[in-house]
Structure 1
Amino acid sequence: MKTNFKHLALFLTFTGLLTSCSDDDATNNGSLDGTFGDVELFFDNGVNGDALILGSSYTNSNGETLTINRFNYIVSNIVLIKEDGTEFTYPKNESYFLISEETEALTVHLENVPSGDYKQIKFGIGVDQQRYLEGETAQQEFWNLSSTNNMVWTWSTGYRFINFEGTFTSSNNQEPLNFQIHQGSNSATDNYRLVTLNLPSTARVRTNEMPNIHFVADANVIADGTNKIILHDNLNTAGTNASIMGGENLIKIATNTLNMFKVDHVHNGGGSHH
């Protein structure tokens, strides 16, 4: 009789565990307690530790002084990672955002994020090939937004992932010359890049608590990062304009941009904080 009770107790315990797991999976969807909250991402653009101010000049380690007139980029495919390694992937169709210093579009608002404690974030720089190949109609709203913000060429040539423009001077040219660096994919190379960043403190997502994750994006690393890109070496034959929109230097720039972002701090609270 004792043996039967023992088996029954084990059976009930095992059944209880199965029910508990299945209930959690069904109701919580990765959430701490079945609830959801919002997350705000704020992008603070800088140049090698200084605030980026359009129209101001900055000298890099290449000995070139850049006056930046435009700094826009696309972030996409956002994934939030909890302390235990669990990942929440933001719905792909809604996970494309334009950051523009020109229009001061610097904030990304994420909704219906499972409540929990998050320690890492992943996102793409630009638009991935999978999304692009879905066609223009599938992404018409974002395409139109990108178009009005100088972030596309034509549909056949696709999106500009980063649009970095201005003028520069150097020991070789005392008079300012124009430069344009447009990172994007082309028929030769896929220049979409994915970055993973640790959060310096936990982002607590709760129904009534919205974390603000504050990023710093360093425009300086585009030409003056791991790979050094001399703008004067990229002048056109007329010697009036340095334009990098493809080729080996753009691949080097795409590598540089892997280090363009860092998380400065996380503010946990009920509202927007920069």
Structure 2
Amino acid sequence: MKFNIIFVALIAFSTSFISCSNDDNNNVTQGTVGDVQLYFDNGVNGDALILGSTYTNSNNESLTVNRLNYIISNVVLVQADGTEYIYPKEESYFIISAEDNRLTIHLEDIPAGDYSTLKFGIGVDQQRYLQGETQQQSFWDLATQYNLTWTWSTGYRFINFEGSFTAPGLDGSKTFQVHQGSNSATDNYREVALTLPTTARVRQGDEPSIHLKTDANVLLDGQTKVKLADNLNEAQTGAAVMGGENLIHIADNSTAMFTIDHVHNGNGAHEEE
């Protein structure tokens, strides 16, 4: 009888020890939350984006980039079992700007867990826009500061990509403007879903950093090629893509603009480089 009592006690202790060990390894406590950082590392065709520098694409056009600003929205984090955490919509609109090194998004109060997929939108969705100017005045004002709006009736610029370019057959350098946004003809808001190379371990007191690479080259030089030289104005002084079929191509190309480079786990966010 004494032996049985000791044996049962040992089993209970072992079970308790294993359970505690698993808790220590996973460190996920029901109801706890943590933060997540998204870091956007802007580049052009594998090179770091340095404003004022020149890059040549497969269209044989050389672009000197002076501006790259864009809107990230509607962030969703997904665990391996498919459980989704949708970041609160009213707080889920952000601006990334190469002009003033605004490259980081901080997401707060994310339920603790191991996240394997990141989803987000490029631009402002129609549901949000149709809420009206009053409901989004603070973000509208911020977007205006970063040249990411037209008038209220024409809405947001989702991506503002500008500079100058040269191309064979053209006389000297020309300006270019690529402004992706929705219009009365088309909804150019797009969404992407990216699988993380390693899970982002959200824990209380920790802030994993998801490092994304942004390739501005794919806007014009992606799956569908868009030549700036084919979009010159009548005066032949510059090219602008702000509507029509080419803007739809650019919006579709933009979904391939983002990739996940790596994930920093643990306490301590990624430092901007």
Fold similarity call, TM over 0.5: yes
Contact 1:32 1:114 in 2 (8 A): no
1:34: Cα distance to partner? 1.1
What SS does the aligned partner of 1:175 have?
A: coil
1:272: Cα distance to partner? 1.6
Does 1:228 pair with 2:221? no
Question: 2: distance between equivalents of 1:172 and 1:86?
Answer: 54
What SS does the aligned partner of 1:264 have?
A: strand
Deviations 1:28-52 (A, max 9, x none): xxx8521000000000000000000
1:206 aligns with 203
Of 123, 135, 139, the residue aligned with 1:138 is 135
2:188 aligns with 191
1:103: Cα distance to partner? 1.3
Deviations 1:36-73 (A, max 9, x none): 00000000000000000000000000000000000000
Does 1:267 pair with 2:264? yes
List gaps (5 residues or longer) in structure 2: 1-27
1:123 aligns with 120
Deviations 1:114-144 (A, max 9, x none): 0000000100000000000000110111000
Runs of 4+ in 1 over 3 A off after TM superposition: none
List gaps (5 residues or longer) in structure 1: 1-30
2:214 aligns with 217
Does 1:173 pair with 2:170? yes
The percent of aligned pairs where both chains have the same amino acid is 65
What SS does the aligned partner of 2:149 have?
A: coil
Of 179, 182, 186, the residue aligned with 1:182 is 179
> TM-score under structure 2 normalisation?
0.88
> TM-score under structure 1 normalisation?
0.88
Does 1:94 pair with 2:91? yes
Contact 1:83 1:119 in 2 (8 A): yes
Contact 1:172 1:232 in 2 (8 A): no
What is the aligned residue count?
A: 244
Deviations 1:87-117 (A, max 9, x none): 0000000000000000111000000000000
2:251 aligns with 254
Question: 1: distance between equivalents of 2:201 and 2:56?
Answer: 39
Query: What's the C-alpha RMSD, in Å, of the aligned pairs?
Result: 0.9
Question: 2: distance between equivalents of 1:172 and 1:33?
Answer: 64
The amino acid across from 2:172 in the alignment is: E
Contact 1:71 1:165 in 2 (8 A): yes
